[in-house]
Amino acid sequence: MPEGEVVFARPAALEDTPTHYCPGCTHGIIHRLIGEVIDELGIREITVGIAPVGCAVLAYHYFNFDTVEAAHGRAPAVATGIKRVSPENVVFTYQGDGDLAAIGTAEIVHAANRGENITVVFVNNAVFGMTGGQMAPTTLPGQVTTSTPTGRDVKVDGYPVKVAEILAQTTGAAYIARRTVTQPKYVRSCKKAIKTAFKTQLAGLGFALVEVLSTCSTNWGMSPMEALRWLDENMIPYYPLGDYKVIDEVKALP
């Protein structure tokens, strides 16, 4: 390789700006993957992102394309409106579990069931990250949070919500997958899934969602490396990685 040859660069779809995310948070990796996919598909000039309340609320600082802020949980509703008014645009939401799986449950279920031609990147870190680490709908049984100091008791709090499995049952969903980014092999697989979700929309095939298991080392009370190991050892067994719904038309995409 010639000395000084550039082999790695920031995607054009990402701004050159410092991060506000905590050390060890994997939001930045997921942002990067979205940026790379948008660049590779050549859709930056027609893409519109929707970010609701949560750790991802400042997404418009990072993405170099139009981004809209939505009320808590309402990103799928906003995305539906934008896509229907401007079907030529590529519209995606970027949502956390406290947003999508709690206050936004109705919006995401009905958007999927209607088969809205939008893409959703769902970041599941098993806690409410922005507001102090309280129990989320996705918090694991026995997991300690600021609102469950002795661990989540399923007899009191119910069981964690498995979003990918639920949405895979909706008629309008075209592509539903779960990935993570804790290891290089998982990062590559996650990027492929995100690209498939965007291709699904570009082909007009309907609703697509990629759930990404993510760390929250600050609210989990762990070092970044401990958080990565904890996710692999605890979250993946409860939330298995894989494709949960892939219609035949999506399978046929190049």
> Would residue 87 count as lying in a domain?
yes
pLDDT reported for residue 131 = 83
| Lowest mean per-residue pLDDT among 31-35, 55-59, 239-243 | 55-59
> Would residue 150 count as lying in a domain?
yes
Confidence of residue 216 (pLDDT cuts 50, 70, 90): very high
Reading phi first (left if > 0) and then psi (alpha if -120 to 50, else beta), residue 168 is in alpha
The first and second tokens of residue 139, run together, are 């918090």
> Would residue 6 count as lying in a domain?
no
Q: Are strands 242-246 and 173-180 parallel, antiparallel or unpaired?
A: antiparallel
The answer to whether residue 8 scores a pLDDT higher than 70 is yes
Residue 62: what are its φ and ψ, rounded to 5°?
Answer: -105, -30
The answer to whether residue 2 scores a pLDDT higher than 80 is no
Q: Whole-prediction pTM value?
A: 0.95
Q: How many Å apart are CA 37 and CA 179, to the nearest integer?
A: 16
The answer to whether residue 124 scores a pLDDT higher than 80 is yes
> Would residue 186 count as lying in a domain?
yes
* Partners of 210 in the β-ladder: 121, 177
Mean pLDDT of the region 102-129: 96
* Tens of pLDDT, residues 61-88: 999 999 999 999 999 999 999 999 999 9
> Would residue 1 count as lying in a domain?
no
Give the total number of structural domains in the chain: 1
> Would residue 7 count as lying in a domain?
no
- Write out the residue range of the structural domain in which residue 215 sits: 27-251
CATH assignment at residue 66: 3.40.50.970
Residue 25: what are its φ and ψ, rounded to 5°?
Answer: -70, 140
Q: Are strands 119-124 and 207-213 parallel, antiparallel or unpaired?
A: parallel
> Would residue 17 count as lying in a domain?
no
Starting at the earlier edge strand, list the strands of the sheet with 173-180.
Answer: 66-69, 47-51, 90-96, 119-124, 207-213, 173-180, 242-246
Confidence of residue 54 (pLDDT cuts 50, 70, 90): confident
The first and second tokens of residue 76, run together, are 């799928």
Least Cα distance to 116 among 231, 223, 209 occurs for 209
> Would residue 135 count as lying in a domain?
yes
pLDDT reported for residue 58 = 85
Q: How many Å apart are CA 165 and CA 178, to the nearest integer?
A: 9
pLDDT reported for residue 1 = 55
**Rg of the chain on CA atoms, in Å:** 17
Least Cα distance to 143 among 95, 106, 97 occurs for 97
* Tens of pLDDT, residues 233-250: 999 999 999 999 999 999
* Tens of pLDDT, residues 143-196: 999 999 999 999 999 999 999 999 999 999 999 999 999 999 999 999 999 999
